[in-house]
Amino acid sequence: MSRARKEGGARRVGVERAFDELAFGDGRTLNLRAHLPTRGEAVARTEAWLRERQATLQTGAEVLVITGRGNASADRVSVVRAGVSELLASLRRRHVVATYREHTAGSFVVELAPAAAAHAPRRALPNDAPAAPSPSTLAGLHADTRKLLRDLARIGLQHLGVHSPTRRIVEDEMLRQFTALAERLPDDADREAALREEIERAIHALEA
């Protein structure tokens, strides 16, 4: 590729970025390229950020999620972009996202669903579909365990850039952490004691 062609491409990207900054601003832009996250990190951060934006922005607001084009990735395919695309489809089914569209080869424009929609009654799952855990699931845990789980959720959200999460976001993160950690627990042990140990290890890892 010639130097002139490279410079022309860089100039176009710069122009696109300038217009995006004007249209969306910092408060409505998530730039995943800034920290070069893994696919899993990008998906978790994007979901937490979109839920926080849904709770704080007016109904129908549009936000920009920048994933990058994947030019430096293997086969020039962005695993972050693919992960975020799958997440957006999932969040639309869960009433966090109203619509989304490709903005550039490295970004999506996302219209947020009304916050009330996320709490609307959902259709019953098929009989063979596993039931998702609900906040009442955690009520059976000891208060100390729930506190540890809440601490883990808040610390994890802070690492994702969500510093003032709503109660719903914290509860969702507690459920996500509980579901992930519970899968590691042995069947022949004191499962709640083992769960607390896993939570403490996760908190220590985040604070290290």
* pLDDT tens column, 74-126: 555 678 898 999 999 989 888 899 999 998 888 999 999 987 665 555 454 44
pLDDT, mean of residues 175-193 = 79
Which residues have CB under 8 Å from 100's CB, separation 6+?
Answer: 88, 92, 108, 109, 110, 111
Whose tokens are 């993160």? That residue is: 173
Give the domains, in start order, of the chain with CATH numbers: 12-117 (3.30.1370.110), 130-207 (no CATH)
pLDDT, mean of residues 145-150 = 89
Of the pLDDT bands very low, low, confident and very high (cuts 50, 70, 90), residue 3 is low
pLDDT higher than threshold 70 for residue 47: yes
Tell me whether residue 46 is exposed, middle or buried, using C-beta atoms within 10 angstroms of its C-beta: 0 to 12, 13 to 18, 19 or more: buried
This prediction's pTM: 0.53
Whose tokens are 């995006």? That residue is: 20
Q: What percent of the chain has pLDDT over 70?
A: 73
